[in-house]
Chain A
Amino acid sequence: DVLMTQTPVSLPVSLGGQVSISCRSSQSLVHSDGNTYLHWYLQKPGQSPQLLIYRVSNRFSGVPDRFSGSGSGTDFTLKISRVEPEDLGVYYCLQSTHFPYTFGAGTKLELK
């Protein structure tokens, strides 16, 4: 299975600040079709996960441009600028290039 290593586990932030979350995979996420299937989710307390970024850098419908994704191969980053209260929760990366699909263990974004 592809191991997805997310860092940090916990990320204290001040409102209005900027943070980055890293996600590294144990093997390349480039699919045979040429696409890279790495996605980012936010799970707010008591809620289902919500899609933020798909295929590395594409924002899902309704996601503010404060969220941006980048990376390639095995190394990916989610950046959040001008953090707002509704951004707090646990962030997960997901790879859907290889079966079984695998998630990172999560990064908890919390207030300092």
Chain B
Amino acid sequence: NAGVMQNPRHLVRRRGQEARLRCSPMKGHSHVYWYRQLPEEGLKFMVYLQKENIIDESGMPKERFSAEFPKEGPSILRIQQVVRGDSAAYFCASSPGLNSNQPQHFGDGTRLSIL
């Protein structure tokens, strides 16, 4: 019974490169959330997706960041032209339904380091 799987666990990029973070939700979960945890801070919501749809991207930076959750395959958080300030832990969570009372299950995160 696999939980939420995120890969890679650690990712190192140089400034200006692209970072791709992947998230496979728990079996039976069709709702995916991405959060970012900056050093010494709590988690901040970024984006909420269902299969092939972005439902709420109110927490996404306006530029360089994008997310998708295709019909087949994992959800992808993409950061183009990374900068030092993108260094953070990125967490994916999934839930089975629309109701707010469905708790989210978290992956172990991707730690992104920008050189």
Q: A and B, one complex?
A: no
Chain B interface residues (CB < 8 Å from chain A): none
Residues of A participating in the B interface, judged by any CB pair closer than 8 Å: none
